[in-house]
Amino acid sequence: MIRVERLSREYGSVKAVDRLDFEIGRGEIVGFLGPNGAGKTTTMRMLTTYLPPSSGRANLAGHDVLDEPLEVRRKVGYLPENVPLYPEMRVREFLDFRAKLKDVPRNRRQAAVDGVIEQCKLKEVEERIVGNLSKGFRQRVGLAEAMVHDPDILILDEPTAGLDPIQVREVRSLIKMLGSKHTVLLSTHIMPEVEAVCGRVIVIVHGRIALDEDLQKLKLENSIEIELRGLAEGARKSLASAQGVTKVQELRRDGDSTTFEVQTRDGADMREFLAKRVQESGFGLRRLDRRRSTLEDRFVEAVRVATLSQAKEAAEGDAKRH
């Protein structure tokens, strides 16, 4: 449903988005993450045809953003971070107006407006003036507007911003329900929100993809941290040769002890087995903990690695120029 190939956007000498490549299938709910200034909003504006790319291609629901922008807009519902509304209109009036602009047929228009009012819990404010609504209700009006033409793809930028905890839960449930028949690209800084509704996560840093992974796989990547007394290399080999261990990484040394991170197949909890193996191998066991990988941990690590990589590239570029 979304195919991006070497998509880039430049502002003078600044590369806001740098050769992005990814694909998203029908029915996927994908979290689109990154630190401030990473290029998330710029990418979403290009995908929704509000901003032309400097180079590369993007295809949404079979239509190219450069060659067929109007067809792309018919297939996409977009909720920007700052929701554009007409404050002088009433809620139902505004949604009906937007449905007309989005070419919803006259005989289906009222049903379409009724449907999004119901889904976004706007019944109690449907005759109120938009400008008099709270921020939370305005956010929900924006979400209803994005959905009113029943698009194949929804691109949502911070959809729960300004909502109270109950409204946040309702919107998350709505997004999960929408994922059964729509493709959803969701940008947010709230990690629990991504974990609650998304099946996959894409992290971009400095305009490049730093991580693209299935969320269930990330959750399985637990590890065991073990501190041993004895010769470090011998201890590492003993741990690495254990059945079910997939990777052993040395984290630090402190005097005569060494701390390792041990990853196991499918994140299996092998603490008891490893403790027995260490004792049988003659090493002193000082500490054994299970570490659960979180999305926040992986996000921070991806940002750190990408930042170091970019700094190295910049340094190498400066060296070549001089």
The pLDDT tens digits for 220-258 are 667 888 999 877 788 888 888 888 888 888 888 888 889
Do 18 and 134 fall within a single domain?
Answer: yes
Do 40 and 156 fall within a single domain?
Answer: yes
Give the residue among 104, 18, 103, 9 at the shortest CA–CA distance from 54: 9
295 and 245 in contact (C-beta within 8 Å)? no
Residue 204 has pLDDT above 80, yes or no: yes
What CATH code is carried by the domain that includes residue 242? 3.30.70.3190
Q: Is the dihedral of CA 268, 272, 277, 279 positive or negative?
A: positive
Q: Which domain holds residue 232?
A: 222-291
* Rounded (10°) CA dihedral 178, 180, 182, 183: 110
pLDDT, tens digit, 9 for 90 and up, residues 258-289: 998 888 887 788 888 988 888 888 888 898 88
Do 65 and 145 fall within a single domain?
Answer: yes
Do 47 and 64 fall within a single domain?
Answer: yes
Q: Is the pTM of this model over 0.85?
A: no
Do 103 and 179 fall within a single domain?
Answer: yes
Do 240 and 196 fall within a single domain?
Answer: no
Q: From the CB of residue 169, how many other CB atoms can be counted at a distance below 10 Å?
A: 13
Indicate whether 317 belongs to any domain.
no
72 and 109 in contact (C-beta within 8 Å)? no
16 and 207 in contact (C-beta within 8 Å)? yes
Name the phi and psi angles at 130, rounded to 5. Answer: -55, -40
* Total tally of structural domains belonging to the chain: 2
The single-letter code of the amino acid at 286 is R
> What distance in Å separates the CA atoms of residue 72 and residue 1, rounded to the nearest whole number?
11
Q: Residue 309's pLDDT band (boundaries 50, 70, 90)?
A: confident
Indicate whether 307 belongs to any domain.
no
